[in-house]
Amino acid sequence: MKTILIIITLLAALGVYALLPGPSTNRAMDKHGEKNSMSTTALDTATFGAGCFWCVEAVFQNLQGVHSVVSGYAGGTVKNPTYDDVCSGATGHAEVCQIAYDPKQVTYPGLLEVFWKTHDPTTLNRQGKDAGTQYRSAIFYHNEGQKKLAELYRKELDSSKAFDAPIVTEIAPLTSFYKAEDYHQNYFNEHGAQPYCLFVIQPKVDKFKKAFKGKLKEK
């Protein structure tokens, strides 16, 4: 895939990044889909869907500047869905990760670069053998700045033929986020010996670490 650094430079040149609000204005949502009561924070929030949230969580947990990654559900029509509800496809939710990050260490375009490079955004409702609307590629933006950055990034990737097929990533406002059940949190770190972790998640993490070796958290 063609380098995405050119696209990040283009975004900066167009001044879109200036549309993002300061970190104190962007608050995460809690498990009930409501914004939390904290009025000031040094962190910003991004919400991405890129297939199984165990994979997405494992990747972004290793990225420098990321404070926390919470697996959950977004983009659906039912309040407080369970994992079984989401897997049925009836609620319309996507498996997502909500990422709290320090914008002084990693920018939103930097997060988008990792997002685009660590899954296939050209397959509709599928990542590998994981199939269903809950596995769709999606960016749920928290503000207009994030929306414009995501839309312009997707447009430039398509126009530059960065992928062999058109991008099908959904870009939509985050209206609610529901934290997934506790057993889904920190999944790869706690269940690394399980077959799915060994044969699906580990290769993704290894590929990410090779591509972003200069942007990994220090152990």
Range of lowest pLDDT (15-24, 84-93, 160-169): 15-24
Nearest of 38, 26, 31 to residue 100 by alpha carbon? 26
Give the per-residue pLDDT at 39.
41
In angstroms, the CA 176 to CA 74 distance is 6
In a domain, 110, yes or no: yes
In a domain, 105, yes or no: yes
Contacts of 198 (CB under 8 A, 6+ apart): 192
State the average pLDDT over residues 4-32: 50
Quote the domain boundaries for residue 204.
42-214
pLDDT over 70, % of the chain: 81
In a domain, 181, yes or no: yes
- pLDDT band for position 42 (cuts 50, 70, 90): confident
In a domain, 147, yes or no: yes
Give the per-residue pLDDT at 160.
95
In angstroms, the CA 57 to CA 70 distance is 7
Contact 168, 39 (CB under 8 A): no
Give the per-residue pLDDT at 6.
47
Higher per-residue confidence, 148 vs 37: 148
pLDDT over 90, % of the chain: 80
Nearest of 121, 125, 145 to residue 133 by alpha carbon? 125
Query: Which tens digits make up the pLDDT trace of 59-114?
Result: 999 999 999 999 999 999 999 999 999 999 999 999 999 999 999 999 999 999 99
Q: How far is CA 168 from CA 122, 124, 165, in A?
A: 5, 6, 9
In angstroms, the CA 101 to CA 103 distance is 6
pLDDT for 4 beyond 60: no
In a domain, 33, yes or no: no
Tally of domains in the chain:
1
Nearest of 58, 67, 48 to residue 204 by alpha carbon? 58
* Residues classed as catalytic: 52
pLDDT for 5 beyond 70: no
In a domain, 59, yes or no: yes
State the average pLDDT over residues 48-56: 98
Q: Which CATH number do you get for residue 123?
A: 3.30.1060.10
In a domain, 10, yes or no: no
In a domain, 16, yes or no: no
